[in-house]
Amino acid sequence: MRLNSFENMFIDQLNDLYSAEKQLVAALPKLAEAASTPQLKQAFQNHLEQTQGHMQTVEQLLTGMNEKAGGHKCKGMEGLIEEGKEVIGKRGDSKVKDAALIAAAQKCEHYEIAGYGSARTFAQNLGYTQAVDMLQRILDQEGETDKLLTALATGQGSPVAINEQATR
Ligand SMILES: [Fe+2]
Ligand SMILES: [Fe+2]
């Protein structure tokens, strides 16, 4: 931990996010495979592509600050993914399982939203305008993904309503 300067703390935060994204790149294909509803499968697959982009962007930011990405594991995301894997491993009704997969995935998205929100704000404080833009773009995609998952669960703004199907 290098909390001797705001910049070092910012770098630590980016490293944490890099690890979170890297773990999600490995987990999202498993979520996609476990999902039964085609639109949910597709949502996980689409977010996998975005997540690969996020990982590259964060790596780029670190490289730009002469820092090497990696060498740290985000324990928060590790725990959330662990919980997601518990859902993946369960048997039962496919729609009920889809609803549980959405809940697990939204916990990951909210974790990312919190992390990127802070990192974006720290970049603002440091006057790193390009980093602010790059982090904001990721933050927006995390938010859109979260909203899409809500839509698929509730049917509000979506043709599928997984929660409703799961309670039939
Ligand atoms: Fe991400
Ligand atoms: Fe995400």
The domains found in the chain, sorted by start residue, are 7-167 (1.20.1260.10)
Which pLDDT band holds residue 78 (cuts at 50, 70, 90)?
very high
pLDDT number for residue 5: 94
* CA–centroid distance, residue 46 to ligand 2 (Å): 10
CB burial readout 90-117, b (16+ within 10 A) else e: eeeeebbbbbbbbebbbbbbebbbebbe
pLDDT number for residue 3: 79
* CA–centroid distance, residue 104 to ligand 2 (Å): 12
* CA–centroid distance, residue 150 to ligand 1 (Å): 17
Which pLDDT band holds residue 100 (cuts at 50, 70, 90)?
very high
CA angle 111/117/121 to nearest 5° reads 150
Among 2, 111, 130, smallest CA distance to 51 is for 111
Largest CA distance in the chain: 56
Residue 15 CB burial class (10 angstroms; 0-12, 13-18, ≥19)? buried
Which pLDDT band holds residue 121 (cuts at 50, 70, 90)?
very high
Tokens 């043709």 belong to residue: 159
Mean pLDDT along residues 94-112? 98
160 has a pLDDT exceeding 90: yes
Please tell me the number of the ligand nearest to residue 80's CA: 2
155 has a pLDDT exceeding 60: yes
Tell me the average pLDDT of the chain: 97
Residues with CB under 5 A from ligand 2 (ion): 112, 142
Mean pLDDT along residues 108-126? 98
pLDDT number for residue 46: 98
pLDDT number for residue 91: 94
115 has a pLDDT exceeding 70: yes
